[in-house]
């Protein structure tokens, strides 16, 4: 990216080898000193992240409850496909562009709420009470990881970040390959068949999701400490929500395996 100061000097010299004129220098010195952010600018705070995360989780709960109670059987499959594709597409867009605001975050939460509500309803019909157990397990894991992070038992280092990110990419790659394998065999790679390998895979996913929560906590803390703009709070809340959704689904799957 061109240096704006160097470009300014070049324009003042008319593209030649001479430096800025005395009038140019005087104008620079006459400019007021930097006095901090403008009155309308705000730095991100912990309250900003908590409020936005609560808004996203609240939207998921409301949309999930509506899908659970009011979704007719004939619309179940279309709603599942639309919410899955909508949530996946919008989530990838926000992840790669880092453009997250109130509208995109709430719409994403609504898609995920419908998806989770439909999935949870199916699981709860087959295994009554399993959804409450999965929610409780998600809260306990998230609370436990926050506790060990705050007391310093787990420190986020560049090496830990690389390991967790690499492991996350690896398990999602296996999920994609498993979906492709379903075209050739009814069990795919066996990652979701309910057997011992499926149980181990879900346990691994839960551990990786838990460590992703630690990375999320560290990202939020560093953003606050380094003075990130307030709008970054939506991106931080989005990242935390995505991890919690993944953790809930994996715990729900694992409990389903145990109930069989």
Task: Note the pLDDT tens digit of each residue in 147-166.
Answer: 999 999 999 999 999 999 99
Report the pLDDT value the prediction gives residue 27, as an integer from 0 to 100.
52
pTM attached to this predicted model: 0.81
129-142 pLDDT, tens per residue? 999 999 999 999 99
How far apart (Å, rounded) are the C-alpha atoms in residues 241 and 220?
A: 13
149, containing H or E segment: helix 130-150
Place of tokens 């800025």: 20
CA contacts within 13 A on the Cβ side of 83? 22
Q: What is the pLDDT of residues 193-218, one digit of tens each?
A: 888 888 999 999 999 999 999 999 99
Tens-digit pLDDT profile for residues 68-100? 988 887 888 888 899 999 999 999 999 999 889
């Amino acid at each position: 990216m061109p240096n704006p100061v160097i470009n300014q000097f070049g324009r003042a010299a008319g593209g030649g080898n001479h430096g800025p004129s005395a009038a140019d220098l005087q104008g620079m010195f006459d400019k007021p000193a930097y006095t901090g952010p403008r009155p309308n600018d705000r730095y991100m705070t912990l309250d900003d992240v908590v409020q936005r995360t609560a808004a996203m989780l609240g939207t998921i709960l409301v949309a999930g409850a509506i899908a659970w109670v009011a979704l007719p059987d004939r619309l179940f499959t279309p709603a599942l496909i639309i919410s899955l594709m909508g949530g996946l597409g919008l989530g990838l867009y926000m992840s790669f562009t880092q453009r997250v605001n109130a509208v995109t975050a709430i719409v994403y939460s609504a898609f995920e709420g419908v998806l989770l509500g439909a999935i949870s309803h199916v699981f709860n019909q087959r295994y009554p009470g399993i959804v409450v157990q999965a929610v409780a397990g998600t809260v306990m894991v998230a609370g436990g990881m926050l506790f060990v992070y705050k007391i310093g038992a787990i420190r986020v280092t560049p090496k830990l970040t690389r390991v967790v990110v690499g492991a996350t990419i690896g398990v999602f790659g296996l999920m994609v390959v498993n979906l492709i394998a379903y075209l050739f065999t009814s069990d795919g790679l066996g990652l979701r068949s309910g057997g011992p390998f499926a149980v181990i895979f879900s346990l691994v996913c839960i551990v990786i999701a838990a460590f992703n929560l630690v990375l999320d906590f560290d990202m939020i803390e560093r953003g606050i400490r380094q003075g990130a703009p307030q709008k970054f709070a939506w991106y931080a809340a989005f990242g935390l929500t995505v991890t919690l959704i993944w953790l809930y689904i994996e715990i729900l799957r694992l409990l389903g395996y145990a109930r069989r």
